[in-house]
Chain A
Amino acid sequence: MIPYLLRKLATIALLLVAVFTASFFLIRLAPGGPFDEDRQLQPEIRRAIESKFRLDQPLGTQYREYFTDVFVRGDLRPSFSYRNTSVNQIIAETFPRSAALGSAALFVALLLGIPAGVFAAARRGRAADAAMAAVFALGLAVPNFVLATVLVLVFGFWLGWFPVAGFDSLAHLVLPALALGIPLAAGAARLVRAGMLDAMDSAFVRTATAKGLPRRRVLLGHALRAGLTPLVTWLGPATAAVLTGSLVVEQIFAIPGMGSFFVTSVQNRDYTLASGVLLLYFGLVAVLNAAIDVALHGLDPRVELR
Chain B
Amino acid sequence: MAMAGARSTRRAFAAAALLLGLPVLGFVYGRPGRLPPADFRFVLPKDVATLDPHQASSFADGMMVGALFEGLCRIDPDTLAPIPGVAERWDVDADGLGYTFHLRPAATWSDGTPLVANDFVRSWARALAPATGCPNRGLFRPIGDGSGVSAPNERTLRVRLVERAPWFPALTAHFAFSPVPVDRIATHGDAWSLPGTHVGNGPYRLELRRLRDRIRIAKNPHWHGKDGVALDVVDAYTVGQASTALNLFLTGQVDWVNRIPPLAITALEGEPELSKHPFLATNILRFNVTRDVFADGRVRRAFDRAVDRGTLCARVYREGERPTRSFVPAELRGESSAPIEARSETETREARSLLAEAGFPEGRGFPEVELLFTADESVRRVAEAMADRWREVLGVKVRIQPQESKVFLDSMRSLRYDVCLGSWTADFLDPTTFLDVFRADSSNNRTGWKDPAYDAMLDDAAKLVDPAERLALLVRAERHLLDHGPFAPVAHRGQANLVAPRVRGFTANALDLHPLDRLSVVRE
Q: Which residues of A contact B (CB under 8 A)?
A: 30-34, 36-45, 47-49, 52, 78, 81-85, 90, 93-104, 106-107, 152, 156-157, 163-170, 172-173, 225, 232, 235, 239, 243, 251-254, 256-257, 260, 264, 267-269, 288, 291-292, 294-301
Contacts and interface: CB of A to CB of B under 8 A. Distances in A.
B155 interface: no
B479 interface: no
B311 interface: no
A10 to B, nearest CB: 21
B27 A298 contact: no
A14 to B, nearest CB: 23
Given A39-B57, A84-B52, A99-B29, A298 B11 contact: yes
A95 B240 CA distance: 18
A231 to B, nearest CB: 10
Contacts of B11: 297-299, 301
A264 to B, nearest CB: 8
Decide if the interface of chain B is mainly helix, strand, loop or mixed. helix
Given A168-B34, A295-B18, A33 B406 contact: yes
Residue among A99, A107, A268 facing the most chain B CB atoms (10 A cut-off):
A99
A247 to B, nearest CB: 10
Contacts of B444: 39-40
Interface residues of B, number: 71
A48 B34 CA distance: 41
A99 B130 contact: no
B26 A169 contact: no
Given A97-B30, A291-B18, A152 B247 contact: yes
Contacts of A90: 211
A89 B50 CA distance: 15
B446 interface: yes
The 3 A-B residue pairs whose C-beta atoms are closest, nearest first, are: A96-B30, A298-B11, A295-B15
Contacts of A170: 31-32
B410 A37 contact: no
Contacts of A168: 32, 34-35
26 contacts: A33-B406, A36-B409, A39-B136, A39-B444, A43-B443, A45-B134, A78-B190, A84-B52, A84-B193, A85-B194, A90-B211, A94-B212, A96-B30, A99-B25, A100-B31, A102-B26, A103-B24, A157-B250, A251-B240, A251-B241, A254-B240, A256-B213, A256-B238, A291-B15, A294-B15, A300-B8
B23 A107 contact: yes
A193 to B, nearest CB: 20
Contact of B237 (A94, A156, A254): A254
B406 A166 contact: no
B81 interface: no
Given A37-B135, A42-B137, A82-B47, A232 B409 contact: no
Contacts of B125: none
B8 A298 contact: yes
B15 A299 contact: yes
A96 B23 CA distance: 10
A207 to B, nearest CB: 15
Given A103-B23, A156-B251, A167 B213 contact: yes
A167 B420 CA distance: 39
Interface string B454-484: 0000000000000000000000000000000
Nearest to A41: B135
B315 interface: no
Contacts of A269: 406
A45 B135 contact: yes
A291 to B, nearest CB: 5
Interface in B395-427: 404-411, 413
A84 B190 contact: yes
Nearest to B188: A84
Contacts of A93: 210-211
Given A31-B410, A99-B30, A52 B23 contact: no
